[in-house]
Structure 1
Amino acid sequence: MRAIVIALAFAAGMISTSLAQTWPTHPIRLVVNFPPGGAADLLARLIGQSLGETLGQPVVIENKGGANGNLGGEAVARSAPDGYSLLMSSGSMVAINPHLYASMPFDPAKDLIPVASVARVPFYLVVRAENPVQDFKAFIADLRANPGKRNFGSPGIGSSPHLAAELLKKMTGTDAVHVPYRGAAPALNDLLAGQLDFLFDPGIAIEHVKAGKLRAIAIGSAQRSPQLPDVPTLAELGLAGFDADAIFGVYAPAGTPRDIVARLNTEINRALATVALKERIMVVGNIPAAMSPDEFGERAREDSKRFGAIIRERGITAGNN
């Protein structure tokens, strides 16, 4: 019996190796679980183009937003584990959503496996340029003078930008109304249109900051941003330990051959090391972050503990805002 088990394991390993050597033979689908225009979408298109060139097959981007990333995540989790269906997601779908939803149609920790991180995404606290608030001190003073009268947008309930704002409210003793959207781009559009007072932006607002349409008054990271080096961190401004960064990266259905996962990780990390891709990622306000699959998975587990505590303390669920 033991000999049969060993033989089967050996055969499975041979099949996996053989598949990895011939893969890919046709286009790869890279699902983005948020609408076009957001950080996940921009990163997917950058890394997809690079992967297509190195793998010799097109990488087709498919936007499938909804349910805070769950719809796209489930679509990939239910796909064949053959290396032809991948997911580009923010860390929130894996690390945060299980704390938000009483039940999910799939288990991100079991039904998906980490392939490669792509970028660390800082969140920039931005307001419109015509807002009389000039700095963080004035911003907090305004919130305290108008409890519950200011509003902020986010890509969705429990998204990393939403939790960044909740952490800000907690640490400053202020209140503001949350307006959830189905992605970062729609929230940004409403800020520019004057429908919102502020938001934590994942980098897509930087061009508007540089154009003078928006004002960045702080960054919710442990370090300053290379793109906006003059903008202080919230920790520098008195909110000790404030760090709301998210890691965006690529996942695959559980059961995807390890050799394929290893090759994808190698190719993505190689692309992230090139000057051209580094610069393009930095332009959209993100910071390249190459990791092994194990390192990527461990970061998700750490974020789950950190953000789960905030969610429980603030009483946030997918059914309220």
Structure 2
Amino acid sequence: MSASRPQLPRRAFGLAALAATLALGSAVPAQAQGAYPNKVITIVVPFAAGGTTDILARVVGQYLGPELGQQVVVDNRAGAGGNIGGQLVARAAPDGYTLFMGTVGTHAINQSLYKKMPFDPIKDFAPISRVANVPNLLVANPQQPFKTVPELIAYAKANPGKINFGSAGNGSSIHLSGELFKSMTGVAMQHVPYKGSAPAVTDLLGNQIAIMFDNMPSSIQHVRSGKLRPIAVTTAKRSPELPDVPAIGEFVPGYEATSWFGLLAPAKTPPEVIAKIDAALFKVLNNPEVMKKLSEQGADPVVETPEQFAAFIRAETAKWGKVVKESGASVD
């Protein structure tokens, strides 16, 4: 982790809270406590393999398995901006064996974009912890004629509708980052949704689409290799991983769009099971190897209690609902 990257946030209640959380299982018979986990645990990723959600889930799963003493596998269920995977987990047995790598899209944006949701992001899930905050990165195919945000805006205004921007799907944070950019700059660009970030990046590399507001982990290696041109990051400040790449807000005052990812279980999952996963995830996200892997991908690891994550989701839902309304973005 770079020296300039902020330290991993401490839980509000520290070790005392962790002990209290684990104590929830004290009233459960020892045999019942020892029963979980006794089989493979699945983390459902609501986007295609190779994208940021998938990358983060696989890193977490790799280290979470040994902490829980069982294998953790990733199941990609892409489609409908993450709603297909979300519906699957919302309807899964609340036993701790089916978990969900939720995103700002599935749990804060989609309910404002879709007229009909197949699940309730608040009522149908039990939050465990956020895993990471991730900047989005505005990248372009090197064959495109613009290299900076002002040049992109000027080109888009001179050629309305000519620029196609790809996304991980309708309603994803990548999509909404582009819609917010359009609304704040007055440019006309064509949105091209994909079933996940990876296939969109493939077409971007092939110059089938011009730009993407992609999550940094799925594009940063292509930027470092020179296969994609970095234009700007979508956070308020520059990223420590790409310090020479400006923030969009340096040219479009007030622009900011950050993605986040977190682990959730189906609602009504027993508190003692949530506590056990939470304690294991706490160790994983404080593991220096994990922190380094996430940092190298441009992600900032985050640790919080289930209660803090639940409050964060409610706040993000209100924030992005306003953004969706003001931007005019819609899926249905």
Segment drifting more, 188-197 vs 21-30:
21-30
- Tell me what 1:209 maps to: 223
Is 2:327 aligned against 1:314? yes
SS at match of 2:183: helix
2:191 counterpart residue number: 178
Q: Aligned pair 1:221/2:221, yes or no?
A: no
Q: What is the one-letter code of the residue matched to 2:202?
A: N
Name which of 136, 158, 171 aligns with 2:171: 158
Specify the alignment match of 1:148 in structure 2.
161
Unaligned runs of 5+ in 1: 1-11
Following TM superposition, by how much is the alpha carbon of 1:315 offset from its aligned partner in structure 2, in angstroms?
A: 3.2
In 1, distance between residues paired with 2:69 and 2:230? Answer: 41
Unaligned runs of 5+ in 2: 1-24
**3-state DSSP class of the match of 2:47?**
coil
Deviation at 1:22, TM superposition (A): 3.3
Q: Aligned-pair distance for 1:13?
A: 7.9
The ranges of structure 1 where at least 4 consecutive aligned residues each deviate by more than 3 angstroms after the TM superposition are 12-22
Task: Please state if 1:46 is matched with 2:55.
Answer: no
Distance 1:263 1:240 in 2: 44
Q: Matches of 2:212 and 2:108 in 1, distance apart?
A: 21
* Whole-angstrom CA distance in 1 between matches of 2:97 and 2:258: 29
Q: CA deviation at 1:72?
A: 0.9
Q: Indicate how the Cα distance of structure 1 residues 211 and 123 shifts in structure 2: closer, same or farther if over 3 A, else same.
A: same
Count of aligned residue pairs for this structure pair: 307
The reply to whether residue 131 of structure 1 matches residue 144 of structure 2 is: yes
Report whether the alignment pairs 1:33 with 2:41. no
When normalised by structure 1's length, the TM-score is 0.91
Q: Deviations over 1:115-149 (max 9, x none)?
A: 11111111000011232312222111111211111
* CA apart distance, 1:284: 2.3
Q: Distance in 2 between matches of 1:127 and 1:171?
A: 19
Q: Which residue in the other structure is 1:8 paired with? A: none
Tell me, yes or no, if the aligned pair for 2:101 and 2:263 is still in contact at 8 Å.
yes
For the Cα contact (< 8 Å) 2:223–2:229, is it kept in 1?
Answer: yes
Residues 1:58 and 2:76 aligned together:
no
After superposition, the CA RMSD in angstroms is: 1.7
Give the TM-score normalised by structure 2.
0.88
Provide the identity percentage. 43
- Give the Cα separation in 2 of the matches to 1:104 and 1:16: 38
The structure-2 alpha-carbon separation of the partners of 1:162 and 1:210, relative to structure 1 and needing over 3 Å to count, comes to: same
Structure 2 CA distance for aligned equivalents of residues 153 and 121 of structure 1: 18
Alignment match, 1:284: 297
